[in-house]
């Protein structure tokens, strides 16, 4: 019989506090996203329960961090620590370094975290930093042989891009130039299919960037002029597992570069990450109480 456990993952309107923040800071973005896809979710956070089930063999239901037994995908550690989380962490990360008044509950069980920067902040040995569970897209959304079908490159924006007129205008312009814009509230399986089929992915969403790595699609981190709310820490944390630092392509430069040029630009990092992903995934399976299927 499958055990059902409680898991926290980020939802933009899951509490009065989150609702107030999401409405005040990003209300325009969520309004546009809801009109486009009729939901207010973020695909990379929504897959947390499915990916942790792949790792552990358990099923999960959503709970607030103070009452949840587990944390999984996402930069949720800062807020979870502030909320009094005292359960098990599997692959979560910090958005930014811990403040002087922030420290994990002593009863927290760190099975693993997203990267070496988070591990250092919470006082774990380097070997505990096993990588982002988003890489399990390789297992959960495995790519059929020769599936690459689309000639259209894919662009996955962070939801903040939709919050400004200039950001929305940039997406509209790039869509007219042949980019398939996949909004972050698209269902995860649809995101994975688009990423698998595309020749190239440009993403300002860390989740999109990780999906592309997991599914062996060449990718670059994308930067928009008005998108400044996401700290560099989380990108550096994820890439630390591969011994890399983030580099970015500005959205305006996509108009001046061919897909072939973009692929060549990222080929060295893509190759290095591709070679290491399986060992990162193996470490995840070995350090949890589930088994690879």
- Summarised one tens digit per residue, pLDDT across range 17-70 is 788 888 888 999 999 999 999 999 999 999 999 999 988 888 999 999 999 999
C-alpha–C-alpha distance, residues 270 and 134, integer Å: 16
The pLDDT, as a whole number, for residue 129 is 77
The bridge status of strand 4-8 relative to strand 59-62 is parallel
Instruction: Determine the average pLDDT of the residues in 147-173.
Output: 91
Per-domain residue ranges for the chain? 4-138+280-291, 141-276
**Contacting residues for 258 by C-beta, under 8 A, at least 6 apart:** none
Residue 258 confidence (pLDDT) above 80: yes
- 72-112 pLDDT, tens digit each: 999 999 999 999 999 999 999 999 999 998 999 999 999 99
pTM assigned to the model: 0.94
Going from the C-alpha of 204 to that of each of 30, 207, 246, the distances in angstroms are: 17, 9, 12
| CATH number for the segment(s) 141-276 | 3.40.50.2000
């Amino acid at each position: 019989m499958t055990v059902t456990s409680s898991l926290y993952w980020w939802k933009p309107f899951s509490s009065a506090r989150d609702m107030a923040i999401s409405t005040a800071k990003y209300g325009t973005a969520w309004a546009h996203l809801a009109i486009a896809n009729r939901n207010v979710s973020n695909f990379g956070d929504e897959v947390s329960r499915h990916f942790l089930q792949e790792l552990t063999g358990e099923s999960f239901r959503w709970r607030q961090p103070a009452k949840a037994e587990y944390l999984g995908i996402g930069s949720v550690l800062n807020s979870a620590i502030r909320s009094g989380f005292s359960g098990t962490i599997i692959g979560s990360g910090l958005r930014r370094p811990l403040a002087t008044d922030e420290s994990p509950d002593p009863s927290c069980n760190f099975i693993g975290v997203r990267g070496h920067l988070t591990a250092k902040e919470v006082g774990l040995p380097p070997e505990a930093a096993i990588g982002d569970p988003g890489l399990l897209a390789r297992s959960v959304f495995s790519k059929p042989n020769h599936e690459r079908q689309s000639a259209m490159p894919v662009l996955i924006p962070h939801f903040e891009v939709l919050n400004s007129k200039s950001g929305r205008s940039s997406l509209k312009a790039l869509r007219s130039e042949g980019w398939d814009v996949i909004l972050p509230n698209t269902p995860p399986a649809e995101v994975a299919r688009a990423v698998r089929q595309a020749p190239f992915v440009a993403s300002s969403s860390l989740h999109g960037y990780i999906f592309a790595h997991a599914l062996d699609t060449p990718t670059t981190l994308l930067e928009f002029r008005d998108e400044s709310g996401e700290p560099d820490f989380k990108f550096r944390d994820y890439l630390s597992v591969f011994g890399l630092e983030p580099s970015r392509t500005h959205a305006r430069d996509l108009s001046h570069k061919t897909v072939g040029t973009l692929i060549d630009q990222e080929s060295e990092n893509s190759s290095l990450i591709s070679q290491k992903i399986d060992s990162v995934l193996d470490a995840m399976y070995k350090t949890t109480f589930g088994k690879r299927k």
